[in-house]
Amino acid sequence: MAALVELEGVHKHYDIRGVQTRAVDGVDLVIEDGEFAALAGPSGSGKTTLLNLIGALDIPDSGSVRIDGVELGSLSASERAELRLQQLGFVFQAYNLIPVLTARENVEFVMELQRVPTAERAARALALLEDVGLGGLGDKRPLEMSGGQQQRVAVARAIASHPRVVLADEPTANLDSTTAGQLLDLMEQLNRERRVTFLFSTHDPLVMERARRNVRLHDGKISQDETKPE
């Protein structure tokens, strides 16, 4: 496998009421193409900050973050936005669906930004909803769907743009264990069958159990990096 995400000596500090907090403290990390990996740790360990740095939603104070060889620190804000659009998919804890749009329209949204033709994006959105087990629900709006269904729409939206990696921030946090297991089944299937790379931030034992690699964080540092045998 080839290196897809590379971090070298990454630091990120925040000033909270005059107190310096080291959210990420000298992290070196490589995520390879096709991995199904988790950044694990309790609240305050730095996992969400690290995911935001990888997702080009923030920039480090020092160190290097590269996606497919592209150094994020060398990009302008508009170039980072374009990289997010073309290379990255996002799944959020709170789903972040657009409430006035239907499930199909939510999945189409990123493709519309990519200027995919109308007929093509509609067909792809319906096919993706079928793939994630929501066939026939394309005209439902988010508030007409369960939490698990909304998160499946979010997964379909995340992969609609054919991203190099999907970044999932606590994707099971608002789901019961059964629904969370079904969501992870879906993500594993996408990983194995479509070679979609997944990187989670999580403190959910179920996600850590299912991830094939767990990178554990403590106080902004990597405390353990374990890959399970195939």
pLDDT tens, residue by residue, 117-144: 999 999 999 999 999 999 999 999 999 9
Q: Which residues contact 167 (CB under 8 A, 6 or more apart)?
A: 51, 54, 55, 88, 89, 90, 91, 199, 201
User: Binning pLDDT at 50, 70 and 90, where does residue 44 land?
Assistant: confident
Q: What's the predicted TM-score (pTM) here?
A: 0.92
What residue segments make up the domains of the chain, in order of their start? 3-227
Distances, alpha carbon 228 to alpha carbons 61, 152, 211, 215, 225, in Å: 32, 26, 8, 11, 10
* pLDDT (0 to 100) of residue 1: 64
Cβ atoms 144, 97 nearer than 8 A = no
| CA 197/CA 33 separation, integer angstroms | 6
- pLDDT above 90 (res 15): no
3-state DSSP assignment of residue 110: helix
Query: 3.40.640.10, 3.40.50.300, 3.90.79.10, 3.40.50.2020: which CATH number matches 3-227?
Result: 3.40.50.300
HSE-up (13 A, CA, CB side) for residue 186: 25
**Distance of alpha carbon 169 from the chain centroid:** 6
**Dihedrals φ, ψ of 195, to 5°?**
60, 30
